[in-house]
Amino acid sequence: MTDRSVTIVIANKAYSSWSMRGWLAVRLADIPFEEIVIPLRETNTRTEILKYSPSAKLPALIDGKVTVWESLAIVEYLAEKHPHAPLWPKDPAARAHARSISSEMHGGFIPMRRGLPMNVRRKLPQPDLNDAAKGDINRIQAIWRDCHRRFNGTMGTGPFLFGGFSAADAMFAPVVTRFDTYGVPLEDHAAAYVAAVLKQPFVAEWIAAAGREPWIIPEFEPEGKDAG
């Protein structure tokens, strides 16, 4: 373990779900870190991101000569380097499950993601969703229900997927904020989980910082009345 700071390069906290996942992983690793925010949709955005991330996408983690991009790769890098950090469950079965649901999140739920764009600063009416997006919402609630039933307490006590807040919760945190933004009707267990994640201190810190950002990207600000 080194105490040299790593740098997490992220996009707007208001809009960038992948950045939120990577940033939460660094907070969970409990290491000194610096943060660089590159706002999306500006004339120099791509050039600025390419200074840090070869994919031209964020987040990227810079640790000395090592660059890691892709949110899930950042989680794995941090978990390897800081094995005592509460990123993955220690129990192999619970860890395999946590990785499976995190990969499912990383690679999927595109209809839900398209239908409910992330905007942690707003409360908005729920747009009409297609069947695929509704199916995603049902599948996500099934994942959460199954996890709470089978793995509750495998990472200590708490209301999160494995008890204590973990990388799996970080991967789903931007889904939680979307469900909150659009007031998506949820099963009781899922509504309780959403409330717990929104109160989690790292998540609350991210949302509060998003509120202080100066940038507004009209493309990510759906028309329609603010629901308050």
Ligand X SMILES: N[C@@H](CCC(=O)N[C@@H](CS)C(=O)NCC(=O)O)C(=O)O
Q: Which residues bind ligand X (CB under 6 A)?
A: 11, 16-19, 40, 45-46, 57-59, 70-71, 106
Cβ-based nearer residue to ligand X, 18 or 193: 18
Q: How far is the CB of 18 from ligand X (least distance, A)?
A: 4
Contact 41, 219 (CB under 8 A): yes
Q: How far is the CB of 79 from ligand X (least distance, A)?
A: 15
Beta bridge partners of 66: 63
Give CA angle at 30 (189, 164), nearest 5°: 20
Cβ-based nearer residue to ligand X, 106 or 134: 106
Query: In whole angstroms, what is the distance from residue 116 CA to residue 83 CA?
Result: 35
From the CA atom positions of the chain, what is the Rg in Å? 17
Residue 107: count of CB within 10 angstroms of its CB: 9
Q: How far is the CB of 37 from ligand X (least distance, A)?
A: 12
SS3 102: helix
Element (H, E) at 60: strand 60-63
Q: How far is the CB of 139 from ligand X (least distance, A)?
A: 19
Cβ-based nearer residue to ligand X, 40 or 190: 40
Cβ-based nearer residue to ligand X, 163 or 169: 169
